[in-house]
Amino acid sequence: MKGSVMTAMVSIDAVGKSYASGFEALKGVSLDIHQGEILALLGPNGAGKTTLISCICGISRPTRGVITVGGHDVIDDFRAARRLVGLVPQEINLEPFEKVMNSVRLSRGLFGKPRNDAFLEKVLKRLSLWDKRNARISELSGGMKRRVLIAKALSHEPRVLFLDEPTAGVDVELRRDMWDIVAQLKADGVTIILTTHYIEEAEAIADRVGVINKGELLLVEEKAALMNRMGRKELRIELSEPVAAIPEGLSDYNLRLEDDGLTLVYPYDVRKERTGITRLISDFGAAGLLLRDISTRQNSLEDIFVGLVKEQDGDAA
Amino acid sequence: MNWQAVYAMYSFEMARFFRTITQSFVSPVISTSLYFVVFGSAIGSRIQEVDGVSYGAFIVPGLIMLTVMTQALSNASFGIYFPKFIGTIYELLSAPVNFIEIVIGYVGAAATKSMFIGLVILGTSALFVDLKIQAPLAMLAFLVLTCLSFSLMGFIIGIWAGNFEQLQLVPLLVVTPLVFLGGSFYSISMLPPFWQTVTLFNPVVYLISGFRWSFFGIADVPIGISLLAISAFTVICIGIIWWIFKTGWRIRS
């Protein structure tokens, strides 16, 4: 596989996190994130996405396991590891009375970078924040505040960027902007890890997708391969004349009747060696049905995701 | 050491101070002036000299200490509690800084602010009473150490506090009484013998006594013990902070 020959920018090895209450937020997660890729972590609320990010960034301490960033252990060699990492948190955590520029300057300084207002100007312009540089953060709209969080994370030129639910509750325009920014960063070689509820977001920008639920990583796959491998497809056959029931000769096919008998739907699995389509079509002829149109529909990532999570919940029950 | 980060934290905190200049600067000046009007002129004129020093001048070191201690406490505790409260602490925790750098940045800023206020009050006092400072270097040393140790203590309170009420609790219930009863406005020799002994358990007595010594050469307790007390207090605070960061208590889950 292409991914395995790339270098791991972030390496997570058997990382677990449990709390004093006994709650296990992460149950031995292992994952390599390659340099320059965009990885989307999908999962329902409370799945452990933010906990995982917090453990990598130093906000939480993992109970067990090893995490390295750029080859540096995040605990033993925390300075070298953290210098590489930018974090955009889920919550809008900003000092309300501070000016945008000062807040961004603080971030750059905290990460040990000398003051460089020319670079910060570039960052703020890229995020359409330059006009607001002297505005107090409390005066900004929600979307603008989120941009400030991104500007703070980018202010120290990170090589790995974590975006925790970056587009939760933002309007469509800002979401598109955010995707553009992510694409630009990727072009600069920045490794990007984003968590999201929005499947379409993962579908639109990720190279790989990880699904996490109840503290376990259920799978990590190249997005295209994932959709290919797991994607179930449907063949939709429109008839010239409606039928009242599925003809007897076709009863073995698990067909579904839709549109008042005008459409027959045949679900099949692209992974199988034989999809059964050829035989189905010829059996249609034998049953005396006249076909008007044929189309196929591929399941979205959302269907895959919901299927996986349901499967795990079913196992647990 | 990540000095760049220390400087960033320090200047960010100082900017807050200058942004709220009325609150952080004008209010201590006004309250000090009020103390002088009330204690120095109105009541002070009826009080005899204390150990050969006019009462107006006698209360100057105590007043400075009183303000410096409460300011250092509130500045330092608020400085670290506020990021916790609004969530910006995530940035400190994920930055390549260790506890020493965070403490130098935050405590350094709080100590600077309170030092500044202390000097302003000293200047304001000079307008009201004749002041002679017998040992200026010792005076500065006591001032610096007091600013530092109370800022360290404030930092601990800020980390410990889970809400604004707790943030006010220790300064209000513990520190203010200790400061008022620590000889800010009187010499402990004025007290009955029993209360003199009780007062010796109040650590603030040693600070105020030493500080007053640097002005007038008079002290309730020997100057060496005063220095030892403030140094021990500083070391204890540093020890507690070291433990806080080592265990991640109340800051890192």
Domain check: are A202 and A237 in the same one? no
* Count of other CB atoms within 10 angstroms of residue A162: 26
Task: Give the separation between CA A210 and CA B214, rounded to whole angstroms.
Answer: 67
Query: For residue A198, what pLDDT is reported?
Result: 75
Q: What is the mean pLDDT of chain A?
A: 88
**Of residues A208, A236, A246, A202, the one with CA closest to residue A224:** A208
- Structural domain contains residue A90: no
CATH number of the domain residue A203 falls in: 3.40.50.300
- Identify all chain B residues contacting A98, using CB atoms and an 8 Å cutoff: 12
How does residue B253 score in pLDDT terms, banded at 50, 70 and 90?
Answer: low
Provide the 8-state DSSP code for A300.
P
Q: Cα distance from A177 to chain B (closest Cα, Å)?
A: 24
Domain check: are A19 and A48 in the same one? yes
Q: Could you tell me which residues of chain B have a Cβ less than 8 Å from any Cβ in chain A?
A: 2, 4-5, 7-9, 11-12, 15-16, 19, 82-83, 86-88, 90-98, 248, 252-253
Point out the domain boundary residue: A207, A228, A249.
A228
Extract the runs of DSSP E, i.e. beta strands, from B133-176.
none
Res A135 pLDDT > 90: yes
Domain check: are A283 and A165 in the same one? no
Strands A64-69 and A208-213: unpaired
Task: Give strand pairing partners of A233.
Answer: A268, A298
Task: Give the separation between CA B206 and CA B232, rounded to whole angstroms.
Answer: 11
User: Radius of gyration over alpha carbons of chain B, in Å?
Assistant: 19
Point out the least confidently predicted range of A67-71, B139-143, B188-192: B188-192
Domain check: are A63 and A18 in the same one? yes
- Structural domain contains residue A73: yes
Task: Give the separation between CA A184 and CA A178, rounded to whole angstroms.
Answer: 10
Domain check: are A185 and A257 in the same one? no
Q: Which residue type, as a one-letter code, is found at position B228? A: L
- For the CA atoms of B98, B101, B104, B109, what is the dihedral angle to 10 degrees? -110
Domain check: are A262 and A192 in the same one? no
Query: For residue B183, what pLDDT is reported?
Result: 86
Domain check: are A287 and A236 in the same one? yes
Domain check: are A285 and A176 in the same one? no
Domain check: are A254 and A203 in the same one? no
Q: Do A152 and B93 touch (CB under 8 A)?
A: no
- Structural domain contains residue A45: yes
pLDDT in tens, A47-81: 899 999 999 999 999 999 999 999 999 999 999 99
Res A317 pLDDT > 60: no
Tell me what the mean pLDDT of segment A118-139 comes to. 95
Higher pLDDT, B54 or A136: A136
Query: For residue A5, what pLDDT is reported?
Result: 47
Res A191 pLDDT > 90: yes
Phi/psi of residue A15, nearest 5 degrees: -85, 125
Query: For residue A65, what pLDDT is reported?
Result: 96
Task: Give the separation between CA A73 and CA A54, rounded to whole angstroms.
Answer: 15
Q: What per-residue string of b and e applies to B212-225 under the rule 16 or more CB within 10 Å gives b?
A: bbbbbebbbbebee
Domain check: are A192 and A80 in the same one? yes
Q: DSSP assignment of B202-252, as one string? A: -HHHHHHHHHHHHHHS--SS-HHHHHHHHHHHHHHHHHHHHHHHHHTTTT-
Task: Give the separation between CA A44 and CA A38, rounded to whole angstroms.
Answer: 20
How does residue A45 score in pLDDT terms, banded at 50, 70 and 90?
Answer: confident
- Identify all chain B residues contacting A81, using CB atoms and an 8 Å cutoff: 96
ipTM for this model: 0.85
Query: For residue A231, what pLDDT is reported?
Result: 60
Res A303 pLDDT > 80: no
Could you tell me which chain A residue has the CA closest to the CA of B93?
A59
- Structural domain contains residue A252: yes
Tell me what the mean pLDDT of segment B136-148 comes to. 93
Query: Which residues constitute the domain of residue A74?
Result: 2-84+159-228
Domain check: are A168 and A72 in the same one? yes
pLDDT in tens, B105-123: 999 999 999 999 999 899 8
Res A2 pLDDT > 90: no
How does residue A1 score in pLDDT terms, banded at 50, 70 and 90?
Answer: very low
CATH number of the domain residue A242 falls in: 3.30.70
Could you tell me which chain A residue has the CA closest to the CA of B82?
A95
- Identify all chain A residues contacting B109, using CB atoms and an 8 Å cutoff: none
- Structural domain contains residue A167: yes
Tell me what the mean pLDDT of segment A263-275 comes to. 84
Query: For residue B107, what pLDDT is reported?
Result: 96
pLDDT in tens, B14-53: 998 888 777 777 887 888 888 888 877 777 777 778 878 8
Domain check: are A166 and A290 in the same one? no
Q: Cα distance from A200 to chain B (closest Cα, Å)?
A: 28
For chain A, percent of residues with pLDDT exceeding 70: 95
Q: Do B94 and A87 touch (CB under 8 A)?
A: yes
pTM for the complete prediction? 0.82
Q: Cα distance from B160 to chain A (closest Cα, Å)?
A: 18
Number of domains in chain A: 2
Count of CB pairs separated by less than 8 Å, A with B:
82
Res B9 pLDDT > 90: yes
Q: DSSP assignment of A70-117, as one string? A: TTEETTTTHHHHHHTEEEE-SS----TTSBHHHHHHHHHHHTTPPP-H
Task: Give the separation between CA A43 and CA A45, rounded to whole angstroms.
Answer: 7
The answer, for A286 touching chain B at a CB cutoff of 8 Å, is: no
Q: Which of B94, B97, B100, B253 to mutate: most A Cβ within 10 Å?
A: B94
